[in-house]
Amino acid sequence: MGSQPSVRILNIDMMGTPGHEVFHLFPTLPKELRLQIWETAVPRERLIHISLKLHQGRRYELATAEPRYLERNALRKPISGERYRAVAEGQQLNSKFLRVNSEARCVALAFYRVHIPVYLSGPKLTERTTLFFNPENDFLHIKAEAPIRETLIDFLWDLKAYDPKDIGLLKLAIDLEGFCANDLEHLRRSDLFLIRQRKALVDTLSQLKEVWFLNLQSPRWVHKQPVEPIVTQIRPSGVFPVAGGSPTLERVGADPRHGLEQALERVYMGDIDPREILFRWRRLLRTWEIDYEDGQVDYRVLFAVTPERHRRTWRIKQLDQAMEFLTLEEEPIGPVLPAQSQIGQAHRCMAAIGFWLFPVESIGQIREGEKLADMDFYPGRVLDMREHWPELICSKLSGL
């Protein structure tokens, strides 16, 4: 008999094991019942990564570009034009129910009502295709090239233009690069010559319901947590969630895994201070005079370890990829004494592919002030998060 793998993954327990059962009587059910089943099965929560880039050949020709907002889409609404291209990360973003049968496709098209043109990234950039998007369920993690008025602002306008309900974006994910890699923080009302551009930004910021501040850390930072000199450096495989490459998410609730309390006592924030993201966000809202009602926006800090090992970065979308990476993670960094190895085995926690969500108050207070120089942000903070038990989000893995 072959030995069982030592790695246990919570995603398997939460989402079950592969099955091949077929309900042969499904086509004979009344149509109303079949539609109710599809409507229950279709909704999924996703985290979609979008990069907004200036079109090739247009980067230095913006001054001579044709007038904007003259073209109309299938909904007969004006769209911004061709100054940017939206690149969505991944090859399997759209719901599988679009490909099952006509009934399922009809339900999926109605649920994912925003049909916006994008390119899909992968081994090579795809031809232009359609992203089917639901504002109430999907988070967008947006990275935009400068100038913002030619990329992000136009995209926010188009997102509303392709929405039959004229809503657009409700759930946003943003990281420090989202502020520092472009001119978003320096944008002022006078920089947006068109009233519709100002409206696109202000309306979107004003209507947000959820915002995630992303703090993804390399293992080389996580494993540099302060340790007692006598303790051997064993990788914390199965403690910190490992970021998955699948957009589809499953909310677990409070992380149910045993053995977390010791890890939560010393959570290493890595090479950035996540308070800086929150500081920049609040300053952006003040610049644009965005004032939320109490409880309107649910803020969370997202924390996960990026899957890196042996100078390779994994994009974990499948169960076998997760098993391969986590098996490598079981290897110790330094020498391991037999007694310490047994202790590590005894306290091993189930692995999770996904991420933690912490409330923003868990990362500490932010001083008053408008200048970054007035803040006390610094890398390498170690926080006791036991009073802020995280919500666990699992990534959907193919093969489950």
Domain boundaries, the chain: 214-273+289-395
In 182-297, where do the E strands start and end? 210-217, 248-254, 267-268
Number of alpha helices (DSSP H) and beta strands (DSSP E) in the chain: 11, 15
In DSSP terms, which residues pair with 211 in a beta bridge?
A: 172, 299
Look at residues 303, 265, 240, 222 and name the one whose alpha carbon lies nearest to residue 384: 265
H-type helices in 97-170, by residue range? 102-111, 152-161
In the chain, where do the E strands start and end? 45-54, 84-89, 114-121, 129-133, 138-144, 171-174, 210-217, 248-254, 267-268, 298-305, 308-309, 312-313, 354-358, 382-383, 391-395
CA–CA separation, 206 and 85 (whole Å): 25
CA–CA separation, 164 and 46 (whole Å): 20
Q: What are phi and psi of 196, to 5 degrees?
A: -65, -30
Q: What is the pLDDT along the chain (400 residues), one digit of tens a residue?
A: 444 456 678 887 766 555 556 777 888 899 999 999 999 999 999 999 999 999 865 544 554 556 788 899 999 999 998 889 999 987 778 999 999 999 999 999 999 999 999 998 876 667 789 999 999 999 999 999 999 999 999 999 999 999 999 999 999 999 999 888 899 999 999 999 889 999 999 999 999 999 999 999 876 555 454 443 333 333 444 588 999 989 999 999 999 998 888 889 988 888 899 999 999 999 999 999 999 999 999 999 999 988 877 677 778 888 888 888 888 776 654 444 443 344 344 446 788 999 999 999 999 999 988 899 999 999 989 999 999 999 999 999 876 5
